[in-house]
Amino acid sequence: MIRSINGKPELGSLLPSDSNRTAQNQHPSAERSTDRDRIEISDRARELLHNPELAKRLRVEANIESGFYNSPQVLQTVAQRLLRDLDHQQNIA
């Protein structure tokens, strides 16, 4: 509840006291500062990191299976890129 004195709110009861601030700043993880975060990468993920073409092929296959390419916006973008690539190849030849 906010109380006011002469039209100005009294914020003393809303602000944490010094003892509350100290307790709020002490997070349980602060006590375990020697702990380290770890990440484990599977053998499959490592394979994909070293073979970006395989990763790309798998993403495309997953998009095909999910129907991602069936939306009109995606079909239009793919068609435009195909036309651009074909035009580029004709200019080279």
Q: How many domains does the chain have?
A: 1
61: in domain: yes
State how far the Cα of 12 lies from the Cα of 18, in Å rounded to an integer: 12
Q: Is 79 domain-assigned?
A: yes
**pLDDT at position 92 over 90:** no
Q: Which residue did the predictor score with more confidence, 6 or 93?
A: 93
Whether residue 82 is predicted with pLDDT greater than 90 in this model: the reply is yes
The dihedral of CA 10, 15, 16, 22: what is its sign?
negative
Taking 60 as the threshold, does the pLDDT of residue 62 lie above it? yes
The candidate with the shortest Cα–Cα distance to 61, out of 50, 72, 53, 73, is 53
Confirm whether 21 is domain-assigned: no
What is the domain range of residue 67? 43-92
Average pLDDT, integer, range 51-69: 92
User: Cβ neighbours of residue 48 under 8 Å, at least 6 residues apart?
Assistant: 54, 55, 58
Whole-model pTM: value is: 0.41
- 19/52: higher pLDDT: 52
